[in-house]
Amino acid sequence: MSVLTLKTKIKIFLFTVIFFTLLVISAISIEFNIVDLILGLPRIGDFIFALIKPNFNYFPTIFQKLIETIQISLLGTTIAVIISFPFSFLASSITMKNRIVYNFARIFMNFIRTVPDIVLASIFVAIFGIGALPGIIAISLFSFGIITKLLSEDIDAIDKNQVEGVLATGSNLIQTIYFSIVPQILPNFISYSLYTFEVNIRVSVVLGFVGAGGIGQILIENIRLGNYANVSMIVFITFIAVLIIDYVSEKLRSKIV
């Protein structure tokens, strides 16, 4: 059984003191009040009770918006997939030897990933107005950042012996990518695309809060109006839809990977 040295004990003590000091400072600066938290707990029960009485007559409106949400996610993901595949080769040190292009691609990719999806949606709503278009563009950029990041890392981790073997035959860069790199990354690329589509179903619901179309738009409207029977139905239908999409996507990924 190992015994902690005095130096290690001092480090642990200092780390603990610093951690709890920062915790207290954070709580004070944001005016966190444990009493308000405790007093607010009973309201959770009231809210849950209001949600257990869904308005089934609201289903046609929900279904229409749900289809719009799926369409927004599908279009946004498809655009991202088309753009991110070639861009990933620019962001990989294996396929892009020009350091200026490589660094630009990495910086651009990281910048897109830094901006939250809801901020992107808010910007495009301000530009294009309320509707599905801002949601599609925001999801496209959001998905582009995810897929490009994952795929470029896969390209960096490929078996280089296959690449060298194809190059030895006198193939050019495009032929080398097509015959030695694409077969190695294609299963993961398809898996990333399906996973991103799953994520985008949830993302598009949140984007509706800022007017980017879809089911989130009627969800926030009913929350503001206090129509909890409608809110309950929206949450229930969204939950069922996400379960179905997750199940189908998981089955597809298991067959591909």
Instruction: Indicate whether 168 and 251 sit together in one domain.
Output: yes
Range from 77-81, 195-199, 250-254 that averages highest in pLDDT? 77-81
- Work out the burial of residue 196: count CB atoms within 10 Å of its CB; fewer than 13 is exposed, 13-18 middle, 19 or more buried: buried
In a domain, 181, yes or no: yes
Domain enclosing residue 88, as ranges: 57-256
Instruction: Indicate whether 28 and 108 sit together in one domain.
Output: no
First to last CA, the chain: 44
Instruction: Indicate whether 23 and 134 sit together in one domain.
Output: no
Closest listed residue to residue 205, CA positions, set 194, 214, 192? 214
Percent of the chain's residues with pLDDT above 70: 97
Cα-based angle 46, 52, 56 (whole degrees, multiple of 5): 135
Instruction: Indicate whether 246 and 215 sit together in one domain.
Output: yes
In a domain, 1, yes or no: no
Instruction: Indicate whether 113 and 14 sit together in one domain.
Output: no
Q: What is the pLDDT of residues 188-229, one digit of tens each?
A: 898 899 889 988 888 888 888 888 878 888 888 888 888 888
pLDDT for residue 2:
55
Instruction: Indicate whether 108 and 64 sit together in one domain.
Output: yes
Residues in the chain: 257
One-letter-per-residue 3-state SS of the chain: CCCCCHHHHHHHHHHHHHHHHHHHHHHHHCCCCHHHHHHHHHHHHHHHHHHCCCCHHHHHHHHHHHHHHHHHHHHHHHHHHHHHHHHHHHCCCCCCCCHHHHHHHHHHHHHHHHCCHHHHHHHHHHHHCCCHHHHHHHHHHHHHHHHHHHHHHHHHCCCHHHHHHHHCCCCCHHHHHHHHHHHHHHHHHHHHHHHHHHHHHHHHHHHHHHCCCCHHHHHHHHHHHCCHHHHHHHHHHHHHHHHHHHHHHHHHHHHHC
Instruction: Indicate whether 158 and 248 sit together in one domain.
Output: yes
Instruction: Indicate whether 26 and 109 sit together in one domain.
Output: no
Domain containing residue 77: CATH number:
1.10.3720.10
As a whole number, mean pLDDT of residues 166-182 equals 81
In a domain, 223, yes or no: yes
Instruction: Indicate whether 238 and 152 sit together in one domain.
Output: yes
Total structural domains within the chain = 2
Please identify, among 50, 66, 86, the residue that sits at the C-terminal boundary of a domain: 50
Instruction: Indicate whether 78 and 191 sit together in one domain.
Output: yes
Q: What is the pLDDT of residues 81-128, one digit of tens each?
A: 999 999 999 999 888 888 999 999 999 998 988 888 888 888 888 898
